[in-house]
Amino acid sequence: MAHTCIHWFRKGLRLHDNPALVAALRDCKEIYPVFVLDPCAPNNVKIGINRWKFLIGALKDLDCSLRKLNSRLFVVRGKPEEVFPKLFQKWKVTRLTYEYDTEPFSLRRDKEVVRLAEEHGVEIIYKVSHTLYDIDRIIEENNGKAPLTYNRLQTLVSSIGPPKRPIPAPTSDDMKDVKTPCSEKHEENYGISTLEKLYQDSESLTEELFPGGEQEALLRLDQHMERKEWVCGFEKPQTSPNSLSPSTTVLSPYMTFGCLSVRTFWWSLTDVYQGKKHSKPPVSLHGQLLWREFFYTAGLGIPNFDKMEGNPVCTQVDWDSNPEYLAAWAEARTGFPFIDAIMTQLRQEGWIHHLARHAVACFLTRGDLWISWEEGQKVFEELLLDGDWSLNAGNWQWLSASTFFHQFFRVYSPIVFGKKTDKNGDYIKKYLPHLKKYPAQYIYEPWKAPRSVQEAAGCIVGKDYPRPIVEHEVISKKNIQRMKAAYAKRSPHSSDESPSKEKGLFPLGTAIGSASPNLNHSSLCASPPCSQYMGLHVTLLINMMTRCRVFIDVQQWCLRAIVVNFSIRSVVVFRHGIL
């Protein structure tokens, strides 16, 4: 039977390594590549201008690639569950294909679309290609529960084997017997919207540093892979949060939108690594892709993963509600130049370094402002080009010490941290130009500058730039005690294991494992993705009342703790090279 197919583009906005698209072309006489522009964004998420611009670029690039295959992209507006029944009838569709998505909103949406397709006699084919592995398979291998440590995830994927190799993009030969019917009014009926139609304040858009699209993604990937020595030596904690140009790949937005296949990235790295000495997970580039997998697995396997309440692995914290503080943080008005510069870069460019994300996340939550990580999650979801639901929720829980990471007494300083990699404050001067004439001595703490210095710099604190909204040294100590109290209320087993995944949530009877005990992670805590403070990996309680020097080797990890000239009751041992 020759099918009339719709391939539903969602995140996988590419032709390369798109197994669902290839499946659509088998025994196919007509194909309609469709993107549904849903006016009701998932969970009512507010989408920022940079994300809209990136999406439009990705769709234009995809349409251009399809044209080369004598096809076109059909952009339709509306809710998928309302749009597809009409298209099934209008085009006499017999098959629908799409890339599998693990987010809760997407699963609910897909379940309804599958039901409607079955009512219309439409065959459904979906394929896994947005992640390295089938996330359901990982959870099944872990007895139906999401692994709560990075080490456990590594063990599971090692037992499964390497990720599947990417498949090539369809060619003209693959399309020679397949047609895409297009009318003269295609642009009018199914054309890609302009930014002005999608976003009211389009005049606020600044220079586009990261254009969307598959071709741009592959070009950037190739450019990075040519830097073989850099790729092999890459260690995420050693990159800079406040360099004037990105010190990492910035390929994350392209994977978020599916312009770049994560499997293509993985195997490109494997080819570069071949026969060479190279860094290893969790700090290597392979390690970063496994962190992505870790949070995707958690997002699928843990109920209410993007919330505190109803999230069984999240510490319940009595956060403050302070709209003024939240607005000051989001709008870069905290009075701390390092924090404000980061938030300015985020709003202007749609991307910030992972350690910069750590700094502002800690500041908003447990470090200084004591505002719920859910509020920060919303801001990041709006502004980040790579505002990936699972990674965003997971990292906010991590940095707020609510889940995964529990050393709440380690707080990023909004003053000292940035100085480590940018003593002169060039990053601050770039994003907060009104402070550019401040001498390096005061650039991180302009409120300490004498009045004469402030006048010479043309920026008076309290008038031209806000005073600090909190006193960090005081409030951070207070908040540590508040976190200590929140931890004291936790059940002894509150986060030792993840819940079993419920059956019946997934379309087409995806196999789900049954419940059983999971690995206890209270002492073996996975490291935050590429954190400079990564690796509070093992806590050793060593009772002693003497001056000493401790060196401990644990398996393949080189761990050390140095205790000098003071009495101590317990020592936290950190992975070598982090402190």
Flag whether 87 is marked binding. Answer: no
Q: How many Cβ atoms from other residues are within 10 Å of residue 156's Cβ?
A: 19
With beta carbons less than 8 A apart as the criterion, state whether 169 and 15 touch: yes
Q: Does 251 show up as a binding residue in the annotation?
A: yes
What distance in Å separates the CA atoms of residue 332 and residue 326, rounded to the nearest whole number? 10
Amino acid making up residue 127: K
Residue 249 marked as a ligand binder: yes
DSSP state of 147: -
Of 527, 505, 42, 509, residue with least CA distance to 302: 505
- Is residue 286 within 8 A of residue 277, CB to CB? The reply is no
- In this structure, are residues 290 and 529 in contact, taking their beta carbons and an 8 Å threshold? no
Strands 550-554 and 28-37: unpaired
In order of 194, 199, 202, 257, 415, the CA distances from 205 in angstroms are 13, 10, 6, 20, 30
Residue 461: DSSP 8-state? B
Question: Dihedral, CA atoms, 396, 398, 401, 402, nearest 10 degrees?
Answer: 70
* Distance from C-alpha of 99 to C-alpha of 76, rounded to nearest angstrom: 18
C-alpha to C-alpha distance for 563 and 492, rounded to whole angstroms: 29
Strand, coil or helix: what is 163? coil
Strand partners, 98: 8, 126
Q: How far apart are CA 254 and CA 14, in angstroms?
A: 10
Here the contacts of 481-488 (C-beta below 8 Å, separation 24 or greater) are 482/317, 482/318, 482/366, 482/370, 483/317, 483/366, 483/401, 483/408, 483/409, 484/408, 486/315, 486/316, 486/317, 486/318, 487/315, 487/406, 487/408
Q: Is 51 annotated as a binding residue?
A: no
Q: Is 513 annotated as a binding residue?
A: no
288 is in an annotated binding site: yes
Residue 482 assigned to a binding site:
no
Length of the chain: 579
Cα separation of 175 and 170, whole Å? 7
Tell whether residue 244 is among the known ligand binding residues. Answer: no
Rg of the chain in Å (alpha carbons): 25
Cis amide linkage into residue 492, ω under 30° from 0: no
Q: Please tell me whether 432 is known to bind a ligand.
A: no
* 338 is annotated as contributing to ligand binding: no
3-state class of 302 per DSSP? coil
293 marked as part of a ligand binding site? yes
> Does the annotation list 83 as a binding residue?
no
DSSP secondary structure letters along 319-377? -B--HHHHHHHHTT-SS-HHHHHHHHHHHHHS---HHHHHHHHHIIIIITT-B-HHHHH
295 is in an annotated binding site: yes
Would you say 252 is a known binding-site residue? yes
Pick from 480, 321, 313: which is nearest to 398 by CA? 313
Point out the annotated binding site.
248-252, 288-295, 386-388
Point out the annotated binding site for FAD.
248-252, 288-295, 386-388
